[in-house]
Every structure is written in C-alpha cells, then in structure tokens.
Amino acid sequence: MNSRPNKKPRDLVDGVLLLDKPVGLSSNDALVKAKRVLNAKKAGHTGTLDPFATGLLPLCFGEATKFSQDLLEADKTYEATVHLGIMTTTGDTEGEVVERLPVDVTLEQIEAALARFRGPILQVPPMYSALKRDGKALYEYAREGITLEREARPVTIHGLALAGYEAPYLKILVTCSKGTYVRVLGEDIGAALGCGAHLNALRRVEVGNLAGQDMISLDDLLAHPDPLSLLKPVDALLSTFPAIELTPDLARRFLQGQRLALGKESVSVPAEQGRVRVYHDGRLLGTGQLGDYAILAPERLVSTVQPA
C-alpha cells in the first residue's frame, strides 16, 4: 500500500512576477521556489542572472511564457561595481585571483576609458559562460583548465555612465543589448585603464520596459499572504507594442487564426506596421503582425481566451 500523500494539483496561473533575485541563487532555483509558492503549473524565466548577481528577474507563468522571448531580446540595465587592480579567473568574485596591479587613475582617465565602450563594440565571450562548443558549455572546458579560442561578437552599449568612484571601486550604470557580458565589460574597462579589474557586484534594474521599483524579494514572496496578487498581467510584457481593440466578430475570427483586413472595419489601426497586441473588451487575445493594407495576421494567441 502506498502511504505517500497525493500531491496537490498544480494551478493554471497566468501572469508575470518581477522577482528581486538574491545573491547566491541561480535563476532556475529562484524560478523553482516561486513556482512552488504560486503552485503554478507552467513557468519560465526570461534570461538568466549569474548566481553572484542580484536584481530584476522577470518570471513568466502560464500564458505569459508564450511572450517571454521578447524579454530575452530586450535591452537590460545594470548597476555594477568594478574592482580595479585585481583580475580573477571568472571576471567576478567567484573566481580565483590571478593578478594584482597598482591602481593610480584619475576621473578624467576613467571617463575617457568609458567613452571607448559606448555604442556598438565587439566583445569576446568569457570562458566561464554557458555558451556551448561541440555540445559542451564553455565553463566546463574552463574548469578542466582548457581555454578555447572565441570569436568576438557585436553588442551595443546604449548607455555607460560613471556612478561613483572610491578607489579601487568604480561604480557604473550600464544599458546594453542582449548578449552583453557585463563581467567582460568590467574587465575591458580595467584593461583600458592599465590596471585590470573584475566585477565585484552586479544588479539588474531594468529589463526592456520592466523597471526594478516593482520587484519583490524572495523572502517577501514566501511570506506574502496572497502571492497571486503580486502578479502583473500577461500584457505587462507587451506594453511597448501598439494596441488594437477588435469587435466581437473580428475577435472570434482572430482567435480562429484568420487574417483580418481591418482597412474597411470600424477599428482604430496604428499608423505603423509591425507587431501589435490585440484585445477584445479590454482582454488580451494575443499578438499579431500588422502589414500592408491594414492586414492583421495572428501571431501568438492566448489559449485561455476562447472564440465566441
């Protein structure tokens, strides 16, 4: 006889949680804990934060997972502390110190160094990363003492500002494109200053249009009497796209996957073509592509909304 208690069925939970990931926890571990608290059936995160990093980790539940790719592609903003004069194997505090150099730099030199990294740049991915070569993560090679050649990749540093300097700690605010390694940026700034560096602290404060002031800590989530009330709606991921409100008949046809010619319909259509979020009666139906002659093609549909 099986005496093990039956597990509670998972709930269909839809929405977005803006978690303030604590230091020392992987993004996946943070997701597992939040999923357990919300008893959610389906969940995913929108791009990892290193365990030593903290800050904004948007977690998607249920229907929101369909739109998480947009945040993977989005720009991110970080507050970073660069420790000048010390280089480590990993480029951050988790590695071993490999070299120490004296630090004697002025604010003018720092500003000149930062200016070199604004805009489009080429960046060599670090060995301690999850990028794969022949099906094996680079960090696995690194742990075996193997260093592989890596091609520099184009990234864009949209903003790079000096937030403070008390030697040897340099604080910067970075807004960057997807694929940017802030660890590598810190090392490269140190190299440009001639003293080397590693990243002492990293905190993500923005992902796309999602801002850090709405974050909740894991401890507060665990203690909250109604954690579901902390979820933002699914369309919080889509607020940068223009909206189209459909009539009941058009909404039904849209949810059936039909392309809609909106030019002759009593529907307000954005002037710009491209991706749009689509509603009926204020409820998100999904996303679509608005093309020539106001043709709306369904893209990703919210399955919890059924055609009338």
Residue 3 pLDDT > 60:
no
Residue 123 pLDDT > 90:
yes
Average pLDDT of span 77-85 = 98
CA-to-CA distance for 296 and 305, rounded, in angstroms?
18
**Cβ proximity of 128 and 140 under 8 Å:** no
Q: Which residues touch 25 (CB under 8 Å, ≥6 apart)? A: 51, 218
Work out whether strand 283-290 and strand 274-280 pair parallel, antiparallel, or are unpaired.
antiparallel
pLDDT given for residue 4 in this prediction: 57
Closest CA to 33 of 234, 221, 205, 229: 221
Average pLDDT of span 203-220 = 92
pTM: 0.89
Which residues are designated catalytic? 50
For the chain, how many helices (H) and strands (E)? 7, 19
Average pLDDT of span 239-245 = 92
pLDDT given for residue 5 in this prediction: 57
Q: Where are the alpha helices (DSSP H) in the chain?
A: 27-38, 69-72, 107-115, 138-143, 182-192, 218-223, 248-255
Q: How confident is the model at residue 6 (pLDDT cuts 50, 70, 90)?
A: low
Q: Tally Cβ neighbours within 10 Å of residue 66.
A: 20
pLDDT tens digits for range 83-107 = 999 999 999 999 999 999 999 999 9
Q: How confident is the model at residue 252 (pLDDT cuts 50, 70, 90)?
A: very high
